[in-house]
Amino acid sequence: MSGSPIPPPDLGTADLRTADRDHVWHPYGPMPGRTDPLVVRSARGVRLTLDDGRELVDGMSSWWAAVHGYRHPALDAAVHADEFSHVMFGGLTHEPAVALATLLVEITPEPLQHVFLADSGSISIEVAVKMCLQYQRARGRPERTRMMTWRGGYHGDTFAAMSVCDPDGGMHALWKGFLPEQVFADVPPPANPTEYDEAYDAHLAQVAAEHAGELAGIVVEPVVQGAGGMRFHDPRHLAALRAIADEHDLVLVFDEIATGFGRTGELFAAHHAGVAPDVLCVGKALTGGYLSMAAALCTPEVAAAVSDERGGGGLAHGPTFMGNPLAARVALASVRELLRRDWRGEVAAIHETLTTGLAPARELPGVRDVRTLGAIGVVQLDHPVDVPAAQAAAEEHGVWLRPFRDLIYTMPPFVTGPGDVARIAGAVLAAAAAG
């Protein structure tokens, strides 16, 4: 641990709110913001402590990231590195980055052997798209520059990432003329245990065949579409995509930034399908929510093409903070902690409590669907959520939720105990009733 204690913030709560309103952008918001954010003073375990002394159980894992909760001793220790803070990655290397890359190769599907460390999920998607384009150039097909995906996806907020987000949810109209126009298949049908939608696979095959001459790759979120609508689809559609990608020599990219590291009940969602992609993006829970880091992993075939003179002679990317040792150390600690724990049992227990706890939502007026998968619980309304009312109801239950569009959802930290998971489920019900 470092020597001197961190001095307390010298802004009083009122000043902090005013300064926040005057100067600070928040995600997806106008300036100044329309609502006042809650002020968090500290976070420990699964609880956020607010400036007014209230404690809220975190139902969001800080956007899928904080799987071990907050102030975990092993992760705390990892970010207090004595060796170095950051060093550039061009021409230099170090153990934290190498150990992390090696561990990622070990735990992801077998064909993925090479790791590009990126500074955020969106950037890992940019890198994945570059891999697709450079792959096709190396194959002598530079005209293949478009990506295929399905509607309803979310892949981040940088431009290539936005271009493969759902066109409506991703507000493509706002960027028309600037955003690359990609090839979209229909939204995948909801998973249905009693019936498999083969017609949808035929649709995917048809879209790919129609555009094969201009496609570089396919990018999708496997099994769970997250911020694009919290939808779950049958893993067998991923096997169909694998076959389609092979048929047309397309690079298949799985975006596991939200689903990676156990969230869906398998370590990676690709495991549900028994399918390996050519490129895999991970982020969010990679560092247990401590620091921003992501990675794009690829196969030797992709790496060889990218490295080929015709493919560009190397990967055309290299962020300043690439391979940041502190982020790499905490990522290593987080993944090791996950593997050491019975994460499968923890996720299964959360799944069970969410499934029973959310079931009564089906009886609520205005509720269209209730679904759970792994440590994810979703209540979908038949109208947009009244977010302030829903959040107030959740806070009454001592829980932090952040509904969007028609969705009230939770993905708690894996370390959340049964009582707190039940409390979160109660808060989701209350939010659904109020919202």
Ligand X SMILES: *Cc1c(COP(=O)(O)O)cnc(C)c1O
Which of helix, strand or coil describes residue 41? Answer: strand
CB of 283 to ligand X, least distance (A): 5
The 287-306 contact track toward ligand X, x by CB under 6 A, reads -------x------------
Complex with ligand X: residue 26 or 362, whichever CB lies closer: 26
Q: Report the distance separating Cα 132 and Cα 217, nearest Å.
A: 6
CB of 405 to ligand X, least distance (A): 15
Q: What is the DSSP string of 305-350?
A: HHHSGGGTSS-S---TTTT-HHHHHHHHHHHHHHHHTTHHHHHHHH
What is the residue type of 77? A
Q: Report the distance separating Cα 64 and Cα 428, nearest Å.
A: 17
Strand order in the sheet with 376-381: 367-373, 376-381, 407-410
Among all residues, whose Cβ is closest to ligand X? 121
Q: Which of 61, 62, 108, 122 binds ligand X (CB under 6 A)?
A: 122
The 175-194 contact track toward ligand X, x by CB under 6 A, reads --------------------
Stretch that binds ligand X, among 118-126, 202-210, 300-308, 370-378 (CB under 6 A): 118-126
Tell me whether residue 409 is one of the annotated catalytic residues.
Answer: no
Q: Which of 166, 234, 284, 420 is catalytic?
A: 284
Residue 423 labeled ligand binder: no
CB of 155 to ligand X, least distance (A): 5
| Beta strand extents in 134-247 (DSSP E only) | 146-150, 183-185, 215-220, 224-225, 231-232
Q: Report the distance separating Cα 114 and Cα 188, nearest Å.
A: 30
CB of 228 to ligand X, least distance (A): 8
Tell me whether residue 382 is one of the annotated catalytic residues.
Answer: no
The answer to whether 257 and 283 have CB atoms below 8 angstroms apart is yes
Residue 400 labeled ligand binder: no
CB of 358 to ligand X, least distance (A): 21
Q: Does 155 bind ligand X (CB under 6 A)?
A: yes
Tell me whether residue 15 is one of the annotated catalytic residues.
Answer: no
Complex with ligand X: residue 65 or 138, whichever CB lies closer: 65
Helices and strands (H and E) in the chain: how many: 14, 16
Residue 290 labeled ligand binder: no
Q: Does 45 bind ligand X (CB under 6 A)?
A: no
Q: Which of 58, 255, 278, 420 is catalytic?
A: 255
Complex with ligand X: residue 236 or 284, whichever CB lies closer: 284
φ, ψ at 203 (rounded to 5°): -60, -45
- Give, in order, the Cα–Cα distances in Å from 41 to each of 15, 47, 212, 348: 14, 11, 53, 31
Q: Does 66 bind ligand X (CB under 6 A)?
A: no
Complex with ligand X: residue 121 or 412, whichever CB lies closer: 121
Task: Show contacts with ligand X in window 201-260 (CB under 6 A).
Answer: 221, 226-227, 255, 257-258
The answer to whether 235 and 273 have CB atoms below 8 angstroms apart is yes
Stretch that binds ligand X, among 33-41, 114-122, 175-183, 192-200 (CB under 6 A): 114-122
Residue 154 labeled ligand binder: yes
Q: Report the distance separating Cα 273 and Cα 281, nearest Å.
A: 17
Q: Report the distance separating Cα 326 and Cα 197, nearest Å.
A: 45
Whose CA is closest to 65, among 299, 268, 262, 289? Answer: 289
Q: Which of 70, 150, 154, 254 binds ligand X (CB under 6 A)?
A: 154
φ, ψ at 172 (rounded to 5°): -60, -30
- 429: enclosing H helix or E strand: helix 418-434
Complex with ligand X: residue 296 or 381, whichever CB lies closer: 296
What is the residue type of 140? G
Interaction site with ligand X (CB under 6 A): 120-122, 125, 154-156, 221, 226-227, 255, 257-258, 283-284, 294
Annotated catalytic residues are 28, 154, 255, 284
* Binding site as annotated, residues: 63, 121-122, 154, 255, 284, 318-320, 402
Binding-site members for substrate are: 63, 154, 284, 318, 402
